[in-house]
Amino acid sequence: MSRRLASAIRAWLQFLLFVLALSLLAVGSARSQPLSDSARVAGWRSDIRYYLDQMKRQHYVYSRQPLPAGLIEAASRLSNNVPRYSDERILAEFEHLASFAGDGHTYLLPFGSRRVTAHILPLRFFLFSDGMYVIDAFAGYEKWIGSRVVRVGNTPADVVIERMRPTLSADNRFTYLWVAPALLSFRGYLENFADGIDPDSVALTLKPPSARETRVRIAPVVAPRMRGIPKLMASRLKGAPAAPLYMSNVTQNFWLKPLADDVLYVQFNQVMNADSESLAGFAQRLGTTVRQTNPRAIIVDVRHNNGGNLTLLPPLITVFREYEAAHKDGRIYVLMGRNTFSAAQFFLGQMDRYTNAIFAGEPSSSRPNFVGEETGVELPWSGAIGSISDQYHESIPGDTREWIEPDIKLSLSSVDYFANRDPLLARVLADVAVKR
């Protein structure tokens, strides 16, 4: 072979290799990005179909009747919008799908997904009678505790909450007060319900105590491991007084304390056995205390109680029934609120049915009779987690009320909360004194 021919062959081979490399690069590009996007879209859409199928198979109501038309329409809209929504926004939209079930135990969480890393503002919000405030903050953001939230992005805070309200899993119209402020911290909800949101630097207009409104930008952080909505804790505002009684031991499932003027205070924070004592054991101890001290009033505080195992309740209900039978002039007050839910709602229903209890506070987040049971569901592609409720609980047969209306009505204000005051207990104690 001549040198000239060999050189021409090498040049031709190099050209062929160059063309082949360009072809492979083009094919690789075409397959990587578009197929990656298409796989994501296909994955989320498969999760939507799976979720509707599981709702039809599992849900207490919709396993027996057609799925709501609104759910089908919302699922179709979400499927169409998957290409332009962020993954975190899609998780928030899944909670909207869950809300069509009409109960608080059917939900989809904005955290816990295998494929999606949830981000959250390093602030915790709470909705008081006078507005939404920052009640807690991650390290480095504590200076915002006590601030009123005026706007989220470009949207007034109260408007954001109203936008969220119809998209949340709920047993009644009061549930949103408990759920919405907690979920609003998640980036997917911020993107969904507030205008002018930069997902990486969220603008908030805050009104700190004794200061002017200020617009700040706060970057969301990776959400910590969570187990539902945390209970309300004592004020963490700098210089706040000591915690009031009802905030002094929130983490203990149940405890009691004698108060002045022959009043017995019982805090019931979870319908669960404690490590050191069963609920039945506590009921026995409570009964012994009642018989020995003969209180003229018992105050049962379930403001922090979001449920547990309702089959554990009968011994406790028996103690209160026996107290009323033995003390014709004795009174039982039940302090409740938005965090009173699930098995704690069943407790309220049983107290309403079997005792003459006086209810005080704000309505609970549930009905006397409700669809409610934690039945886990996991979406196959994304790994998002939630619950589809498959049981019905009836504490008062035939009762159609949306909630048990308080006899003594009071919603907590930010002023009382940050000052660590408990105006509800003060009102109840005053009622006890009047009816001496």
Domain annotation covers residue 171: yes
With tokens 């954001």, the residue in question is 160
Same domain, residue pair 138 and 206:
yes
**Residue 78 scores a pLDDT above 50:** yes
Same domain, residue pair 56 and 127:
no
Main-chain dihedrals φ then ψ at residue 329, nearest 5 degrees:
-95, 0
> 26-55: per-residue pLDDT in tens?
333 333 334 369 999 999 999 999 999 999
Long-range Cβ pairs for the range 153-156 (8 Å, 24+): 153/190, 153/194, 153/195, 153/196, 153/197, 153/202, 153/203, 153/204, 154/194, 154/195, 154/196, 154/203, 155/193, 155/194, 155/195, 155/196
Same domain, residue pair 278 and 411:
yes
Domain annotation covers residue 397: no
Q: Contact 305/339 with Cβ under 8 angstroms?
A: yes
CB environment 28-64: b (16+ within 10 A), e (fewer): eeeeeeeeeeeebeebbbebbebbbebbbebbbbbee
pLDDT of residue 245: 98
> 108-134: per-residue pLDDT in tens?
999 999 999 999 999 999 999 999 999
pLDDT of residue 32: 30
Domain annotation covers residue 52: yes
Q: Contact 301/340 with Cβ under 8 angstroms?
A: no
- Give the pLDDT mean for 272-292: 97
Mean pLDDT of the chain: 91
| Separation between Cα atoms, residue 166 and residue 173, nearest integer Å | 9
> 89: domain range?
12-108
Domain annotation covers residue 381: no
Q: Which of 222, 254, 270 is the last residue of a domain?
A: 222
**Residue 196 scores a pLDDT above 90:** yes
User: What's the whole-model pTM score?
Assistant: 0.89
pLDDT of residue 34: 41
Same domain, residue pair 303 and 409:
yes
pLDDT of residue 425: 98
| Residue 400: count of CB within 10 angstroms of its CB | 8
> 360-411: per-residue pLDDT in tens?
999 999 999 999 888 899 999 999 999 999 999 988 999 999 999 999 999 9
**Residue 233 scores a pLDDT above 90:** yes
Same domain, residue pair 83 and 130:
no
| Separation between Cα atoms, residue 38 and residue 125, nearest integer Å | 37
Q: Contact 192/77 with Cβ under 8 angstroms?
A: no
| Separation between Cα atoms, residue 432 and residue 404, nearest integer Å | 21
> 317-367: per-residue pLDDT in tens?
999 999 999 999 999 999 999 999 999 999 999 999 999 999 999 999 999
pLDDT of residue 374: 82
CB-based contacts of 284, cutoff 8 Å, min separation 6: 315
Q: Which of 207, 222, 237 is the last residue of a domain?
A: 222
- Give the pLDDT mean for 278-296: 97
pLDDT of residue 315: 98
Q: Contact 315/283 with Cβ under 8 angstroms?
A: yes
Same domain, residue pair 166 and 47:
no
**Residue 136 scores a pLDDT above 80:** yes
pLDDT of residue 68: 97
**Residue 228 scores a pLDDT above 90:** no
Same domain, residue pair 249 and 293:
yes
- Give the pLDDT mean for 192-200: 96
Same domain, residue pair 313 and 423:
yes
Domain annotation covers residue 300: yes
pLDDT of residue 373: 84
pLDDT of residue 64: 94
**Residue 66 scores a pLDDT above 90:** yes
**Residue 11 scores a pLDDT above 50:** no
Handedness of CA 206, 211, 214, 218 (dihedral sign): negative
- Give the pLDDT mean for 261-284: 97
* Count of structural domains within the chain: 3
**Residue 73 scores a pLDDT above 70:** yes
pLDDT of residue 30: 31
Same domain, residue pair 280 and 420:
yes
Domain annotation covers residue 238: no
Domain annotation covers residue 309: yes
pLDDT of residue 35: 39
pLDDT of residue 274: 97
**Residue 24 scores a pLDDT above 80:** no
Domain annotation covers residue 113: no
Share of the chain above pLDDT 70, in %: 92
